[in-house]
Amino acid sequence: MVAIREIITPLSVKVHGSRRDFGSTQEQAPIHVLVVDDEPESLRAVARILKARGFEVDTAMNGIEALERLEKNTVDVMLVDLVMPGMSGLEVLKKAKVGFERLEVVMMTAFADVDTAVAAVKAGAYDFLTKPFPSSDTVALAVTKAAEHGRLVYKTRRLEEELEVRERYGNIIGSSPPMLEVYRMIDSVAHSTSTVLLQGESGTGKELAARAIHNRGPRGSKPFVPVNCSAIPENLVESELFGHIRGAFTGAVATRMGLFEAADGGTILLDEVGELPPQVQVKLLRTLQEGEVKRVGASESSKVDVRIIAATNVDLYQAMVASTFREDLYYRLNVITIQIPPLRERVEDIPLLAYHFLRRYALRSGRDIRRISLEAMRALRSYAWPGNVRELENAMERAVVMAKGDVIIPGDLPRYVVSTAESTTSRNVLLDLPFAEAKRRVIDGFEKEYVQEVLRRTGGNVSEAARQSSLDRSNFRRILKKYKVSSNSNSHI
């Protein structure tokens, strides 16, 4: 009989078949198993199977003894017989699931029927196996899958708890050491009036950090005005920032307040500040020094009380050295610098961010999607995310749209994200091989890819492909034959 779990709900966790993969998961090791069976011979046999595959195994011969073991030891999976005198396996299951949330239970019995199996799964069992087992690996696979599932559910719950804590910094998500340093800096500068310079790659969340500084300080109830300096046409930057009076230039049909005045009492974020034209840099320096703005065309200045936060994804120091950014303005802005780390430098935050975006877009689209499979999470963690958090958000939004069920799987993610994980897995597979075999596979892969690419560039002309490869034509043809690579109809052999 096939394990009933495979019938009721398709697994999103794939477990490798080699024995060395049993007894530990990709997330943690080792797996602690409690085997419960009133038949001594069966108990010893199951324990022996699991120990041989690297599991840490404890045993109990009845339900009461099993619950006592659970109280004393950390157990990942309990493998329990259904029919036992006194407390039945189903009773043990129900009591264990109430008191031990991290525990997964796999039921086993020699008297299986579908109704009983379904009842066990509804009561909280992860899987249901029949005796005699088809093979020893059947037991090991069921326990490994159950352990991975339990740990994934626990991590998901922990991530959700962390989200509740971290969201006090707005939508900045992360608990890695680099992000803890960012939180510390935000708390340190929030109540000061000093200018802050946020540095980081595009998509790292510089505006979110600026909002957090504003919201956590005394100006939190006042305006927060974000300005993307690179998005404003150069001839309008000065007017946008400082305002203008009627008739100051063609098209100025009315007097207009600038963004600095709109932010009076609050905070202005000058995003991509390095893109400001030189003449605007001069006026910005005066605003920083004197706390006043002068509208375009006006004869007098007016006072403003604005905290300035600047942000950039370029090296302002290098811009200053290259004379594209004023030295005096650079030192005025660079009073306190907060470096926002790229996502590739805080990989441990990816699960937290992924579940944050999953929750957001599932709620927005009315989808009941609550989990990310282990394979999908490994793909997310393997990818370098050059677009940082913004790119991850877009990938998760796509995944929610593409998902067919209630679990995000690799096929729901962008192909380029998954291919990176597959490449990493391929490298890991090579490391498991003897040196000579790994070397042979790498060379074979290179030779095949090389001749295919040269043939493509030469339009299938084998003679020309051999010439460009600096190979004798007969040797080139031998490689084609070895890997069964064919040229097209234009080939000249």
pLDDT band with cut points at 50, 70 and 90 for residue 375: confident
What pLDDT does 308 receive? 96
What pLDDT does 293 receive? 92
Contacts of 97 (CB under 8 A, 6+ apart): 103, 105, 123, 124
66 and 60 Cβ atoms separated by less than 8 Å: yes
pLDDT tens digits, 172-230? 888 889 999 999 999 999 999 999 999 999 999 999 999 999 999 999 999 999 999 99
pLDDT tens digits, 237-270? 999 999 999 888 888 889 999 999 999 999 999 9
pLDDT band with cut points at 50, 70 and 90 for residue 120: confident
Residue reference for tokens 């340093």: 181
pLDDT band with cut points at 50, 70 and 90 for residue 17: very low
Contacts of 148 (CB under 8 A, 6+ apart): 13, 15, 25, 26, 27, 374
Token code pair at residue 279: 């003449």
Q: Is 291 left (phi over 0), alpha (psi -120 to 50) or beta?
A: left
What pLDDT does 471 receive? 84
Of 52-61, 149-158, 284-293, 465-474, the range with the lowest mean pLDDT is 149-158
Provide φ and ψ at 225, rounded to 5°: -115, 105
What pLDDT does 3 receive? 44
CA-to-CA dists, residue 376 to 24, 179, 319, 355, 420, angstroms: 19, 24, 40, 12, 12
Question: In this structure, are strands 267-271 and 292-293 parallel, antiparallel, or unpaired?
Answer: unpaired
pLDDT tens digits, 22-52? 665 544 568 999 999 999 999 999 999 999 9
Same fold, 344-430 and 435-482: no
Higher model confidence: residue 92 or residue 118?
92
Chain-centre distance for alpha carbon 368: 20
> What is the dihedral angle through the alpha carbons of 156, 161, 162, 168, rounded to the nearest 10 degrees?
140
Overall CATH class of domain 435-482: mainly alpha
- Taking the C-alpha atoms of residue 406 and residue 183, their distance in angstroms, rounded to an integer, is 33
What pLDDT does 15 receive? 34
144 and 164 Cβ atoms separated by less than 8 Å: no
Q: Residue 415: is its pLDDT beyond 80?
A: yes
Of 1-5, 133-137, 222-226, 318-322, the range with the lowest mean pLDDT is 1-5
pLDDT tens digits, 128-174? 888 888 888 889 888 998 888 888 777 777 766 665 555 567 778 88
What pLDDT does 20 receive? 40
Of 62-76, 98-112, 330-344, 388-402, the range with the lowest mean pLDDT is 98-112
Neighbours of 470 (CB within 10 A): 7
Neighbours of 40 (CB within 10 A): 10
Domain ranges of the chain: 4-162, 172-341, 344-430, 435-482
Q: Is 271 helix (H, G, I), strand (E, B) or coil?
A: strand
Of the candidates 117, 118, 71, 116, the one whose C-alpha atom is nearest the C-alpha of residue 96 is 71
What is the average per-residue pLDDT within 285-310?
Answer: 92
Q: 4-162 adopts what CATH topology?
A: Rossmann fold (3.40.50)
- Taking the C-alpha atoms of residue 437 and residue 61, their distance in angstroms, rounded to an integer, is 48
Provide the 8-state DSSP code for 133.
Answer: P
Q: 344-430 adopts what CATH topology?
A: Helicase, Ruva Protein; domain 3 (1.10.8)
What pLDDT does 333 receive? 93
Q: Is 93 helix (H, G, I), strand (E, B) or coil?
A: helix
Q: Residue 72: is its pLDDT beyond 60?
A: yes
pTM of the model as a whole: 0.57
Residue reference for tokens 């006042």: 222
Provide φ and ψ at 339, rounded to 5°: -90, 120
pLDDT tens digits, 357-366? 999 999 999 9
Provide the 8-state DSSP code for 118.
Answer: H
Provide φ and ψ at 341, rounded to 5°: -70, 145
What pLDDT does 438 receive? 67
pLDDT band with cut points at 50, 70 and 90 for residue 12: very low
* Residue 475 buriedness (CB in 10 A; 0-12 / 13-18 / 19+): exposed
What pLDDT does 113 receive? 63
Give one DSSP letter per residue of 308-362, joined into a string. EEEEESS-HHHHHHTTSS-HHHHHHHTTEEEEPPPGGG-GGGHHHHHHHHHHHHH
Sequence length of the chain is: 493
477 and 462 Cβ atoms separated by less than 8 Å: yes
Of the candidates 36, 7, 9, the one whose C-alpha atom is nearest the C-alpha of residue 114 is 7
What is the average per-residue pLDDT within 420-449?
Answer: 66
Q: 172-341 adopts what CATH topology?
A: Rossmann fold (3.40.50)
Q: What value does the mean pLDDT of the chain take?
A: 84
Provide φ and ψ at 363, rounded to 5°: -65, -45
